[in-house]
Amino acid sequence: MLAFCTSSRFYEHLTGPHHPERPDRLRAIFAAVREAGLIDSPNPLPHGDLYFGLPRWTGQKLIEIAPRLATVEEVMLVHPPKYVDKVRGTCATGGVLDAGDTVVGTQSFDAAMLAVGACLRCVDGVMGGEFRRAFAALRPPGHHAEPEVAMGFCLFSNVAIAARYLQQKHGVGRIAIVDFDVHHGNGTQLIFQADPNVFFVSIHEDPHIMYPGTGYRWEIGASQGKGYTLNLPLPPRSGDRAYLEAMRNSAIPKLMEFRPEFLLISAGFDAHRDDPLADMEVTEEGFGEMTRMLMQVADECCRGRVVSVLEGGYNLRALGRSVVRHLAEMAR
């Protein structure tokens, strides 16, 4: 049983007319998931004339769940209070946070709190046995946010907060985070670099040429966490073959060795060949195959428990189609 967690309130995080991280991304996902028949929502939120050409899903429907707002205490599992205040203050008037690419509007703080809450809602549902796995279609994304710095369109570190919450509220011992967004998950890495109980794997485009310029192979964690960070940078124009090789030969064996009790996925789809922000050549089938491998790890190590959280992906058609493939593999 797979849950699908989203909300039209995420559309209210406005980033301006020309920003790639825009509300239409979630409208496209919703439209694609609905067109494919993964959900039977009576409230279509059509995205213009976007048509995804997707085959009809014949498996079990997804359970649609609503996110909740996170509390400030929950956000403080990762971010210090003064950072939370800074984000709240900048959002009160709208503006730009920190490095300059993270634009916020007056509804952005609430959207960011709801994004964190969506992750926690999914985690609670899986841990409580309400459903087996969950996917959260949310924005703003999270994997670039550091404890005290917003960057790369990210306000709060959604997946990292979910991992800390799993440790503290649910007493989960070993957690794996797999990040296949085309950009390195610098925030997540920083937060867990010294934690041997959280194994972080990131597959991304070569940091010599790609934002944010971190995620080299030699970044393997610090002090007690040494060996619990695995970076797999790939050269530009890498496609399904290179991604699947990295996953099969490097990520999966390490994950099996670590034997996580819970798997979190930072699911960015900007390695797609049609994505305007990067140079990779991954197809929907590639994302589906990577997902299938990760579900096998989850089935073997953690009773199938997976929460996957949206990060990037900026070509609307590619994003919608890729998410549908990801969900189809998660739902099996």
Residue number, 67 or 268, with CB nearest to Zn ion: 268
Contact set with Zn ion (CB under 5 A):
181, 183, 268, 270, 312
Q: Compute the distance between CA of residue 173 and CA of residue 227 in angstroms, rounded to an integer.
A: 17
CB neighbours (10 Å) of residue 15? 20
Annotated catalytic, 144? yes
CB of 172 vs Zn ion, minimal distance in Å:
27
Nearest distance, CB of residue 59 and Zn ion, angstroms: 29
Q: Please state the closest distance from residue 321 (CB atom) to Zn ion, in A.
A: 17
Q: Is 180:203 a contact under the CB 8 Å cutoff?
A: yes
Contact 125, 67 (CB under 8 A): no
Nearer to Zn ion, 25 or 305 (CB): 25
What is the nearest approach in angstroms of Zn ion to the Cβ of residue 204?
Answer: 8
Toward Zn ion, which CB reaches closer, 240 or 270? 270
- Closest residue to Zn ion using C-beta atoms: 312
Judged by CB, which is closer to Zn ion: 3, or 177?
Answer: 177
Nearest to 330 by CA among 309, 311, 301, 313: 309
Selecting among 47, 79, 143, 144, the annotated active-site residue is 144
Find the shortest distance in angstroms from Cβ 179 to Zn ion: 9
**Residue 121 or 325 with smaller CB distance to Zn ion:** 325
Unique residue bearing structure tokens 């049609």: 274
**Do 329 and 295 form a contact (C-beta atoms < 8 A)?**
yes
Residues with catalytic function = 144
